[in-house]
Every structure is written in structure tokens, then in C-alpha cells.
Amino acid sequence: MIEGLKKAWSGVLQPFFRLPEEEQSAALCCRTGADGTEVLLITSRDTGRWILPKGWLEKDMSPAQSAQKEAWEEAGVKSGVLHETGLGKFCYEKSAEDGCDLLVEVEVFRLDVTEMADDFPEAHERERGWFRPSDAAEAVQEPELKKILLRL
């Protein structure tokens, strides 16, 4: 019983009582495919789960520009039309080097992809795939990100 309560606290309730400690931005990379809008997901380097390209905010860039930079480095998005207005935010826990978990808030920006590259900085570290928004929502773990994807 106590173990069940601990799991419920840490997995469900505790995140609602924690404030984000760090901020990142993410690129929701989109294109028009045969069946309509498609979303680009990449695998994380540590767990291999499907995620959006995302990273820390850059000092001399807007959050949207930081997201576009991550889309290049992590997914090979060479060019596209960047929307400076955020689509929403989601939170996730990131394991820090010291072993502690940081709560990170990520703002999502749409990037309509016009050109992709096969050779990019993290090409040998990640997989990438195009998904229908509903399939992308099923593939990611974060509830708030699922909602953003389903609104496309």
C-alpha cells in the first residue's frame, strides 16, 4: 500500500506541485504528406524514446530561433518557415549529471520544413521519422505535448 502511494505521489501528484527549474524550446517540424500534415519526431540519445528536437535557450536568439537551431542539429532540418508564436508548453523531467532530476518547461514552436539534410551534427546519434499528428501523440510520453500534437 505504501509503495503504491509513493508511486502515485511521484508519478502523478508531485509534478503538479513543482515549479519548472529550467526552460527549453522545441521545434514542431511539419510538412505536407500524402495524407495531410506530418510531424517529425526524433529519438532521444539516452532512452531512444520519440521526442521533438529541443534544447536550452540561446542567449542571442529568440526561443523560436533556438528551437530552429535544435531542429538543424538534432534532426537535420536545413530550412523552413519558422513561426515565432508558441503553440503551447509541456514539462518533463531531465536527469542532470549529478543524478538529480530537473523539471524543465519546454515552449513549442512550429517550423514548416522546406528542406532536410542527411548529414547533420547528430545524424549518427538519433533516428528520425515522420508521423501523422495522432500517431505522433501516441508515440510521445508527455501529456501536454500529446495535446499540442492533437490540435494540429
CATH number at residue 46: 3.90.79.10
Asked if residue 47 is part of any domain, the answer here is yes
State the CB neighbour count (10 A cutoff) for residue 27. Answer: 29
Asked if residue 5 is part of any domain, the answer here is no
Asked if residue 48 is part of any domain, the answer here is yes
For position 102, what pLDDT does the model report?
Answer: 87
Residue 121 is part of which domain span? 19-150
Asked if residue 4 is part of any domain, the answer here is no
Asked if residue 52 is part of any domain, the answer here is yes
Asked if residue 58 is part of any domain, the answer here is yes
| Residue 4 backbone phi and psi in degrees, to 5 | -65, -40
State the CB neighbour count (10 A cutoff) for residue 148. Answer: 24
Q: Would you mind telling me the total number of residues written for the chain in this entry? A: 152
Report residues of the chain scoring pLDDT below 70.
1-2, 4-20
Q: Which residues contact 138 (CB under 8 A, 6 or more apart)?
A: 146
Q: What are the CA-CA distances from residue 94 to residues 4, 55, 147, 150 (Å)?
A: 23, 11, 20, 24
Asked if residue 133 is part of any domain, the answer here is yes
Q: How many domains does the chain have?
A: 1
Asked if residue 9 is part of any domain, the answer here is no
For position 113, what pLDDT does the model report?
Answer: 98
CB 54 within 8 A of CB 26: yes
**From CA 67, how far away is CA 107, in angstroms rounded?**
9
For position 138, what pLDDT does the model report?
Answer: 98
**From CA 14, how far away is CA 30, in angstroms rounded?**
33
* Predicted confidence (pLDDT) per residue in 48-74, tens digit: 999 999 999 999 999 999 999 999 999
DSSP letter at 120 equals -
